Amino acid sequence: MKDQLLTLLQQSVLCKDWPDEALDELANKCSLRSVKKDTPLFSQGQPATHFYLLASGQVLMGLRTQTGCERVVYEFEGPASFGEIYMLMQNNYPLDAYAVTDCELAVVPFATFVGVLGSQERALEQVLGLLAKRLFALTGDLSAEPQSFMSGTQRVLMYLLSHLPLRNGASCELKRPKASIAHLLNLTPEHFSRILHDLSKRGFIQVQGRQLTLVDVDGLCSYDR
């Protein structure tokens, strides 16, 4: 179980560049647990007191509209992590998160996470550096406005950055067809393709089929979109 936790932490956006001793200390304070399909993990407006390491299964995060409908903003399939930025902001979760399938995951409480940072200076430096870049990309717009008020480029950026570590050279294979992702983001396939082409032309990303690579993270985060 500990080896699995270490692997999950190494894949987490927050912890991937931590020294081994920091990862080991945090893994010692976490444990895996199983949840059933449709289990709520956190709710919109709930204080962001923890984040999750998803070992297996699928989790969705979405926004409730004034009419009571829900629009999916993020989807995660294990192994993955989610909720980190909201926890570090010590704000309320702006989304609902729930298990779409039976899942195996670990909860990392804020107090536990901060306790490890307090004893691991190198890990603290890594988190502060990441947070400085990530805040620009993921805060403000989502917590203040419904996704429908965002530009198409904002929606695409939030989707991409939720699936990739925030570093130059990071890459992933999109697990869904581009048309399906476009529908998820409330865009036409043509609009989605134009946005990817624009980001690629500006040198921020490279796209080859479903393979996507971050080329210029700082430029992407400071892009006036």
Band of residue 148 on the pLDDT scale cut at 50, 70, 90: very low
Greater pLDDT, 180 or 167: 180
Lowest model confidence (mean pLDDT) among 61-65, 125-129, 136-140 = 136-140
What is the chain's mean pLDDT, rounded? Answer: 80
Checking if the pLDDT of 99 tops 90, the result is: yes
Across the chain, which distance is largest between two alpha carbons, in Å?
Answer: 50
Residue 51 CA neighbour count, 13 Å, CB half? 23
Greater pLDDT, 190 or 159: 190
The 10s digit of each residue's pLDDT in 16-36 is: 778 888 888 988 888 889 999
Output the pLDDT for position 40: 92
Mean pLDDT of 68-81: 77
Q: What is the pTM of this model?
A: 0.56
Domains of the chain, CATH where assigned: 2-129 (2.60.120.10), 150-222 (1.10.10.10)
CA distances from 25 to 6, 8, 159, 170 (A): 10, 14, 31, 26
